[in-house]
Homo-oligomer: A and B are copies of this chain.
């Protein structure tokens, strides 16, 4: 199948490569040179613009945020301009519900379809086609996108015909992750002040009641204080919490835990932790509780 692919960052690169491996003809576009050149070496064709990448009628995009998606889709020589009538844009980025709704209308007005298909998983899962994909959009468009989505994922969940619903689920999922981190962070600060090593508690919980990927990976990060280099930087975490707060505000749903998270993330940035992983909200919990700073030797 001919597939356009826009956005070759940490996530997109692995996904595009999976599509090539599965035998699809992939036309790639990326803002910066090097990643596109790399994919061309792997067998892809390079497009001069997002519009060109969209010419085949099926294009996937994997970008960093609302601004990038908006620019690449609605800008000059964007996906919207290049996609033929009847074509399908599969937006796999984590974006706001509001932008998903705008894109749905814009593509619809042009006789095209938007499928929202955000993913759960880190770059290594993208590279090994182990992502979890949540997709929503018109049934026929989803059918057209299905083969490509199955190639990059180990699990594909289809929701319904409103693309924005997939984005809402993605935001809710990230929110659950943020809540888990904060809960671990608060418990750990409380126990540290009570004379119990948080590592013991985390090991116990994540090997029993909470034996799941999220608790285990963030539990390990907290225990080892591996806040740098950041897997997911604090300001990105704040952006995700902001997105879920905005999406919930549109439907008048209060999210009291999200309000707490927002304050902790903001305070982490205010205290100069903005370059650390978002799990460094644990430092806020510690500082607020007066946990003595760790021996640097132990903090590595």
Contacts and interface: CB of A to CB of B under 8 A. Distances in A.
Contact of A263 (B97, B160, B251, B254): B254
Contact of A172 (B97, B180, B187, B256): B187
Given A210-B176, A289-B252, A168 B191 contact: yes
Contacts of A175: 183, 186-187
Given A134-B204, A187-B176, A260 B252 contact: no
A120 B208 contact: yes
A255 B176 contact: no
A21 interface: no
A257 B190 CA distance: 12
- Identical copies in the complex: 4
A288 B254 contact: yes
Interface size grouping (class) on chain A: 35 or more
A266 B177 CA distance: 24
Interface string A181-212: 01110110111011110001100110111111
A298 interface: no
Interface stretch (A22-30, A63-71, A104-112, A269-277): A269-277
Nearest to A171: B190
A252 B193 contact: yes
Given A253-B190, A262-B259, A159 B200 contact: yes
Contacts of A242: 249
A18 B263 CA distance: 43
A249 B241 CA distance: 12
Nearest to A178: B183
A258 interface: yes
A194 B211 contact: no
Contacts of A288: 253-254, 263, 267, 270-271, 288
A132 interface: yes
A271 B290 contact: yes
A175 B191 CA distance: 12
Contacts of A255: 186, 190, 263
Contacts of A244: 190
A77 B162 CA distance: 39
Given A193-B270, A252-B290, A253-B290, 19 more contacts: A120-B209, A168-B194, A173-B209, A175-B183, A176-B205, A180-B210, A182-B257, A186-B256, A190-B244, A190-B255, A194-B247, A194-B251, A211-B212, A252-B266, A252-B289, A254-B262, A254-B266, A254-B270, A260-B260
14 contacts: A132-B209, A159-B200, A173-B204, A175-B187, A189-B253, A190-B247, A193-B252, A208-B213, A251-B289, A252-B266, A254-B266, A256-B259, A256-B260, A267-B290
In the A-B complex, the 8 residue pairs with the smallest Cβ-Cβ separation, listed nearest first, are: A270-B290, A259-B259, A212-B212, A179-B183, A193-B251, A254-B263, A253-B289, A252-B270
